[in-house]
Homo-oligomer: A and B are copies of this chain.
């Protein structure tokens, strides 16, 4: 019912509801129950109801939640209505993959700039984006008013890049470099160390063997 201070785990689940809801909208369904929504998102139904408590939408007993309204409310809540442009710093394989990742468009996100420090990469056009020199990043940001950036540079360069992003007014950083970034508290950093994903698989698989 309120929009502030949503629990982190809830926040991670909201996009999954949104995804499932869109399929229902496409199918022309007007209401969806928490149990149905949960089944599609892989989440328990009472968790769904609890999560939706944080959204400005109320369900109807015997019917469920209004699909269209819920989508609109989730989009608003997740900030998917405002400025959604982001840049990628680091035109390696991962940076390139992310800069063209089709899944982002589904949420209205657009990668509008791709930067690299390698002169051999700068100037080339990758998937419709021209690779720009990192040196020009600050100037670029000062013109464009972009709030989100993705870092896919090597660990040793990440802090330097982050410093420039901050100077350029970036308020949210998705950091794929395996290093802890030092930023002021008003800037949100989401760390995504891909190796942790494999390590996690590895742990579970090895426990599996032990049994």
Contact = CB atoms under 8 A, between A and B. Distances in A.
A128 interface: no
A142 to B, nearest CB: 17
A15 interface: yes
Given A15-B196, A174-B197, A180-B42, A202 B148 contact: yes
Interface of A: 4, 6, 11-12, 14-16, 19, 40-42, 77-80, 82, 84, 86, 92-94, 96-98, 100-101, 103-104, 106-107, 109, 147-148, 171-174, 178, 180, 186, 188, 190-209
A8 to B, nearest CB: 9
Given A82-B209, A101-B94, A109 B200 contact: no
Which of A92, A106, A208 neighbours the largest number of chain B CB atoms within 10 Å of its CB? A208
